[in-house]
Amino acid sequence: MTAFVDAECSQLMDSLTTSSLPGTSAKDYADFKSRIETFFDDYGTLSRWPCKPPELSPPQCARFGWTCANESMLVCVACKEYLDCEVSSSLGRKLHKECLSRLVSSLEGAHKPCCPWRTAPCPKSYTVMQPVLRKDALSQLRERLETLVAISSAFPVLNTDKILV
């Protein structure tokens, strides 16, 4: 068994160093964002990862190298290990909390022993939204509202001048 694990680890490390697998860099924010995108459908909704608690949010999973395989399954971009995140809603509160705690620990520990994500996740700061200045947020809102002008006959009257800066 040890020889198999060593050979498997050696093969994994070789593939990581000789080719640039997309999404495998722990420090690359673009790779982090591409992993998050796997949780969303073509319409930008979380229908591929529905009803998960905040501890299993797409940013939290992506931080540890996971992508969404389906609505209850994650797959590591490096070691290709799978993590089943199905938690039955019929469990009692205490058991549900315990299962969730184990799943959160598995985000880090379910990788193969030699997987780089096991010991080197993305910085926690990647999961925190950057603050937006009020004036920038209002400007962006105004721009989005102005794109609706072309189809304004189908909507109630919009007056962007009423938005305070």
User: 164 or 40: which carries more pLDDT confidence?
Assistant: 40
pLDDT greater than 80 at residue 165:
no
Question: What is the separation of C-alpha 53 from the centre of its chain, rounded to a whole number of angstroms?
Answer: 13
DSSP bridge partners of 67: 75
Q: How many CA atoms lie within 13 A of 76 on its CB side?
A: 25
Residue 77: CB atoms within 10 Å: 20
Span 67-95, pLDDT tens digits: 999 999 999 999 999 999 998 888 889 99
Per the structure block, which two tokens stand in for 145? 């509202």
Contact 48, 40 (CB under 8 A): yes
DSSP label at 164?
Answer: -
Span 123-133, pLDDT tens digits: 999 998 778 88
Contact 100, 55 (CB under 8 A): yes
In angstroms, rounded to a whole number, what is the distance separating the alpha carbons of residues 100 and 108?
A: 14
Contact 106, 123 (CB under 8 A): no
Model pLDDT, residue 145: 84
DSSP string, 103-128: HHHHHHHTS-TT-GGGT-PPPGGGGS
Model pLDDT, residue 81: 98
Handedness of CA 55, 60, 66, 68 (dihedral sign): positive
Model pLDDT, residue 11: 57
Model pLDDT, residue 19: 42
Mean pLDDT of 112-136: 90
Contact 46, 40 (CB under 8 A): yes
Taking CA atoms, 134 is separated from 15, 61, 106, 120, 165, in Å, by 46, 30, 39, 35, 8
Model pLDDT, residue 6: 55
Model pLDDT, residue 147: 83
Span 14-58, pLDDT tens digits: 555 434 444 555 568 999 999 999 999 988 888 899 989 999 999
